[in-house]
């Protein structure tokens, strides 16, 4: 009984953390060019393809800031081309050549979907002689309410993104990561969550210098 009790208590704790916590980003796929021999990228132009100029600028600024904190010299595309809404590939290529930037880090919005999750009625687990165990008139209504109370449905948003790293000298794709972010509360929270995963992945694959 103690083992069952501990398992149920653990599940309750995990449910609380997931329902009350901030958004969580999961990496759903990673690809790296097998014959890439380095050296690590030390500078990047950050490009966001979000469809909205406000979100684009916000995304690029936060991502670049996170990279700069990791000792990568990063420039947001909106900063490189201020006031320009449609920056061409040729302009980006010319900019990275002129400023000797190692690569282009491009994130695009793949999809946004909503999912409904059904939460069953609350159950009562056995945890010892609680107060409602002592008398039937306490035990029965207390347990009955939790066994037969109706469940409920909650709606959650999942944002699917793709982040690609291209080598400026060759224009070739070197690394790619796909991710799902569960219930982001704001664009800031979304970018911060994803950028941490991107930096962790790049560092793990030795595409950026190790942390100091």
| pLDDT tens digits along 86-106 | 899 999 999 999 999 999 999
Q: Is residue 145 in some structural domain? A: no
Q: Is residue 140 in some structural domain? A: no
The CATH number of residue 187's host domain is 3.40.50.10610
CA 157 to chain centre: 12
d(CA 49, CA 77): 10
In the chain, % of residues over pLDDT 90:
48
Range in 25-29, 108-112, 149-153 with the lowest mean pLDDT: 149-153
Tell me how many domains the chain contains: 1
* 198 CB burial (10 A radius; 0-12, 13-18, 19+): buried
Mean pLDDT within 100-127:
78
**Beta-carbon count within 10 A of 20 CB:** 7
Higher-confidence residue of 93 and 157: namely 93
- Look at residue 60 in the predicted model and tell me its pLDDT: 95
User: Does residue 49 carry a pLDDT above 50?
Assistant: yes
d(CA 67, CA 114): 30
Q: Is residue 141 in some structural domain? A: no
Containing domain of residue 39, as a range?
2-117+153-204
Q: Is residue 129 in some structural domain? A: no
Q: Is residue 134 in some structural domain? A: no
- The pair of three-digit structure tokens given for residue 167, joined into one six-digit string: 């080598």
Mean pLDDT within 195-210:
93
Averaged pLDDT score across all residues of the chain: 81
pLDDT band at 119 (very low <50, low <70, confident <90, very high): low
Mean pLDDT within 17-26:
57
Q: Is residue 71 in some structural domain? A: yes
d(CA 99, CA 190): 29
User: Does residue 198 carry a pLDDT above 70?
Assistant: yes
pLDDT band at 121 (very low <50, low <70, confident <90, very high): low
- Look at residue 17 in the predicted model and tell me its pLDDT: 35
Render the burial of 168-197: b for 16+ CB within 10 Å, e for the rest: beeeeebbbbbbbbbbbeebebbbbbbbeb
What secondary structure does DSSP assign to 64-123, as a single string?
Answer: HHHHHHTT-EEEEHHHHSTT-SS--HHHHHHHHHHTT--EEEEEEEEEEEEEEEEEPPP-
């449910």: which residue's tokens? Answer: 15
Q: Is residue 133 in some structural domain? A: no
User: Does residue 157 carry a pLDDT above 70?
Assistant: yes
- Look at residue 180 in the predicted model and tell me its pLDDT: 87
Q: Is residue 130 in some structural domain? A: no
CA 30 to chain centre: 14
Q: How far apart are the first and last CA of the chain?
A: 48
Higher-confidence residue of 13 and 158: namely 158
- Using CA atoms, how far residue 121 sits from 8, 118, 148, 152, 156, in Å, is 15, 10, 7, 8, 19
């Amino acid at each position: 009984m103690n083992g069952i009790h501990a398992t149920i208590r653990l599940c309750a704790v995990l449910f609380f953390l997931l329902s009350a916590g901030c958004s969580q980003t999961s990496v759903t796929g990673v690809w790296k060019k097998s014959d890439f021999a380095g050296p690590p990228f030390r500078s990047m132009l950050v490009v966001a393809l979000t469809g909205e100029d406000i979100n684009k600028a916000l995304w690029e600024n936060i991502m670049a800031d996170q990279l700069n904190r990791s000792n990568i010299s990063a420039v947001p595309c909106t900063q490189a081309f201020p006031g320009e809404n449609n920056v061409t590939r040729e302009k980006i290529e010319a900019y990275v050549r002129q400023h000797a930037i190692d690569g282009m880090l491009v994130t695009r919005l793949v999809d946004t979907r909503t999912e409904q999750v059904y939460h069953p009625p609350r159950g009562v687990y056995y945890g010892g002689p609680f107060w409602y165990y002592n008398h039937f008139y306490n035990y029965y209504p207390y347990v009955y309410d939790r066994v037969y109370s109706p469940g409920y449905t909650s709606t959650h948003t999942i944002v699917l993104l793709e982040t690609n790293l291209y080598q400026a000298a060759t224009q070739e794709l070197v690394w790619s990561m796909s991710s799902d972010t569960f219930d982001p509360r704001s664009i800031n929270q979304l970018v911060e969550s994803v950028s941490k995963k991107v930096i962790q992945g790049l560092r793990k694959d030795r595409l950026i210098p190790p942390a100091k």
